[in-house]
Amino acid sequence: MASLLAYFGRTIVPLHAWSFRLPDRPRLPLPKDPRLPRRLPGLPPPRIVWLPMSDGRPVRLTHYAPPAGVMARPDPVLALHGYSASGTTFAHEALPEGGLAGALCRRGHHVWVADLRSSAGLESSREPWTFEMIGCQDIPMAVAYVHGQHSGQVHVVAHCMGAAMLSLGLFRRWPGDPAFTPHAAACRAMPERMGRLVLYQVGPAVTMSPANLARAYVFQWLKNYPGFGAISFRPSAVPGTAEDMLDRLLCAVPYPRSDFFRENPLWPPWKRTPWVAQRHRMDALYGITFEVQGMSDQVLERIDEFFGPSHMATTAQVIWFARSRLITDMQGRGAFMTPDRMSALRHRPVLSLHAERNGLVDPDTQRTLTELLRQAGAAVRAVSLPGGHQDSLIGRDAARVFAEIAEFLETPADNPAAPHPPTESSHEHAGV
């Protein structure tokens, strides 16, 4: 037995001496409401609005107005977050310019950041929801409220699963559908109230990455087992042995060599990396969520404020997305994602953004999505961004993406998708 243990020691220690290192624990405690947008430097205090839904689950809207001395634009912007995320994707003091909300406000835009019922900043995120319920209730009511507060149409910026939910609200109609009925009037009027549309990573069509396609089939099997419920990426305050073992095993998953040295810095020797466990847990569920080299230390150390609890039953709906390569409802019905049913986008300016090294969604998504939108008659501009899935919005170079979105929103109406020369941060793939 001693010889056997010595053999394993000689084999494992040189190869995995650091692989099973227990990640540093997150700093405690978190600030109050850590995953909800709050005041941004250089901007007036935001206005908070709670919109009641028919089932009692409210939607939170955070309104950022342009600073004093900046002429306000008539068309407001509504930002929709993805799944397991919240409004801090667009508004947080640790982000460049305070996030997309801060960048657009300084250019005169009124920005409304939505926290839908699936927002990681709300307790309702721990409950099972369908994407069509959020798309046919929360989003239309948010668009209706913002439209009523301003004179112009509402430009919408939708990230990841926020774009999937928006697509379900725009194009899905089933007679007597309980997800559609409570706010049917707002849902029907939503296309008329909307202006320009920015689809970030996902849209009516989506091609999952090979790793996430495999995860989809695993989830199809796991969802039938008990305990398939709410999850949290943040380690417990007093983690048990099983939780520690999980984090050790996830640290053994191969990552680029540069990531290893960012997670295990050699200098200074006392530097802690309290974000490693959360990152690996998210990646185990979704794939590579962000490229660590594109993130600042400030954002990484506050990673808890950008990602949070979710429910596995809702995540399991992506099984159907992966299998059909379309956005579907919980029953897997996606036949409504056709050019005929997408007539609401006819002549509408649409900006499709996709990260080149996206670990969640395959880059082929942009080609498929662009073809579908053009068949529907939309005026599409497709732009490919360097970096990963989330870091292009919350990473070091996010300001370049903000400028891309602002340029699209401010293009004159008579030429909504005019080509423009590529910058360092983007490569034009398509015009009108």
The DSSP secondary structure of 287-344, one letter per residue, reads S--S-GGGS-HHHHHTGGGTB--EEHHHHTTHHHHHHHSB---TT---TT-STTTTGG
Please state, in angstroms and rounded to a whole number, the distance separating the CA atoms of residues 182 and 136.
9
Please state, in angstroms and rounded to a whole number, the distance separating the CA atoms of residues 131 and 180.
12
Distance of CA 198 to the CA centre of its chain: 13
Q: Is the pLDDT of residue 121 over 70?
A: yes
What is the model's pTM?
A: 0.88
The total of other beta-carbon atoms located within 10 Å of residue 279's CB is 24
At 294-337, the pLDDT tens digits run: 999 999 999 999 999 998 888 888 888 888 888 988 888 876 78
pLDDT in the model for residue 110: 97
Query: 3-state class of 156 per DSSP?
Result: strand
pLDDT band at 421 (very low <50, low <70, confident <90, very high): very low
Please state, in angstroms and rounded to a whole number, the distance separating the CA atoms of residues 284 and 287.
6
Please state, in angstroms and rounded to a whole number, the distance separating the CA atoms of residues 113 and 90.
7
Helix (H) or strand (E) holding 185: helix 184-193
User: Average pLDDT of 65-69?
Assistant: 93
Q: Is the pLDDT of residue 228 over 70?
A: no
pLDDT in the model for residue 140: 94
Q: Which amino acid, residue 55? A: D
Both tokens assigned to 10: 């000689």
What DSSP letter does each residue of 333-379 carry, written as one string?
--TT-STTTTGGGTT-EEEEEEETT-SSB-THHHHHHHHHHHHTT-E
pLDDT band at 157 (very low <50, low <70, confident <90, very high): very high
- Given 3-state DSSP classes, what are the helix, strand and coil percentages for the chain, each rounded to the nearest 5? 40, 15, 45
Please state, in angstroms and rounded to a whole number, the distance separating the CA atoms of residues 202 and 410.
22
Q: Are 368 and 327 in contact (CB under 8 A)?
A: no
pLDDT band at 149 (very low <50, low <70, confident <90, very high): very high
Q: Are 134 and 119 in contact (CB under 8 A)?
A: no
Please state, in angstroms and rounded to a whole number, the distance separating the CA atoms of residues 98 and 61.
17
Please, which residues bridge with residue 48 across strands?
62
**276-286 and 241-251 helices cross at what angle (nearest 10)?**
80
